[in-house]
Structure 1
Amino acid sequence: MEKTSFLLSMMVAAAFAATASIAQADESASLEIEGETFVTKTKAPAHAENLDEIYSGWVFRADETQTLQTDDFDNPGFVFVDTAMDLYEEVDGTADKACSSCHENVEDFKGLRAAMPRVKDGKVQTMEEIINNCRTEHMGAKAWKWSGTQMSSMVAYIGLQSRGMPVKVAIDGDAKPIWEQGKKLYYSRFGQLDMACSNCHEDNYGNMIRADHLSQGQINGFPTYRLKNAKLNSIHGRFKGCMKNIRAEPFKEGSDEFKALQLYLASRGAGLTVETPSVRN
């Protein structure tokens, strides 16, 4: 067992060392969309331990990928936003209602994405849960799959209303113990590779590992369109992918663990602006 652990540690070290010299983030990069300048670099909040500054994942992307996000016409994530616009008006369920039946103007959701997730009655509430609650309780419709195309599209459409607003989630009061749980998970090691989120996104951001340029793992751009799989990716879907990469058994999407981790990560990005839907590798 000790020999196996040693070999795995050597594999991880080699992955970082052999992939290239350090590729630092371009601190001068500026993201502008529709004439609006976004905050992609700012002073780290006091509770983001071991970081002086925080960076949007956009800063770490190749020039061509960055450019895709600067124009809504070129941003492939807007194909899914268009899908959600149709879904928003589509009558579904036994109540014979659409989203627009109760929420006539989608712009009324402005500010919601910037404050999510939030803690209500001692439990973390995510955008996905708000949407599914509306579907099951008010529309009499079936719940959507957490990371399904319909859900990710709708989360992006609603999130778009907050684009350009600074991320600011509440982490005091009832949220504090859940935030602490998320922090613990962030620094806990999992899987055969015995790695934590912090090993990549805090200790090695800016470095290359294989073909990936490691970011700080900020979630202000989710749902994000990834060129790798040509679809919108949810926050919890990305968490699953990371855990699989370190050969760990992932928690379930929508689990208390992932929701706590989401709250903690959102708080680490306080001050960055919402980029939904962003474009990444």
Structure 2
Amino acid sequence: MKLLTLRTPNGMKAVRQDDDTLTEIDGYASIGDLLQTPDWKTVAAAATGATHPYEGADLAAVIPAPGKIICVGHNYRNHIKEMGREIPTHPALFAKYAESLIGPTDDLALPPESDAVDWEAELAVIIGKPGRRIAEADAAEHIAGYAVLNDVSMRDYQFRTIQWLQGKTWESSTPFGPALVTSDEFSAGPLMTSAVDGEIMQSTPTGDLVFTPEFLVHYISTIITLNPGDVIATGTPGGVGHAREPQVYLAEGQLLVTTIEGLGKLSNKVVREA
């Protein structure tokens, strides 16, 4: 099942996608709201609300206001190698905030303060069931589904200090969506790519993670309770602009496209922040 958050003239609506049709899930303003209901999957499957065409839909970030966005650094071996690091023994974690999120076709804002804006295609895990100290063997039960995310990074700010947060959570910089694809229809493995103006920059199977989604749910929940609607961005593979020789960054007017087979596509025009 594919679940999306749609912007309408009457406000945001949680919707279910059936081929080319979006059906409103009455009573819920977003998929984040829907996930607060323990039987969210049954509610979504049974929805019979107003319908909208998928083509031309104005989609918000699939979870517009997560309680937590926890990101993982250095989780693909080819990216670890290109950045000159060692394979980690534990996940490198940092936070991102909801103000950074944009929809799957929204404009991506280049801030005037940064000249080193880079792409990072990622598989996002969305939590559907709360838990603390979740065993790795039980972690799959807590995953509602998966989505596409691009952890666009302002490298000049990221590497000002050994803490990365200031380069990772700029406002209106993180495309997320288009849909939550439920975990019964997707698991890590299919190909993930990012492209700039049609040129493939990253291309790696999502199964090449050092730390799997299930391990990350276990590890992070040891530290803090994971709640429905929380998001884990699982890391980016090799091919980022910062590691190229010479280095390459996003420029005004370009189109950044991020795709994971089975989850969908983000397509974001790069613009100067107003």
Q: What TM-score do the two structures reach when normalised by structure 1?
A: 0.26
The one of the two structures with greater contact order (alpha-carbon pairs below 8 A, sep at least 6) is 1
Structure whose CA Rg is larger: 1
- Identify the structure with the greater helix proportion: 1
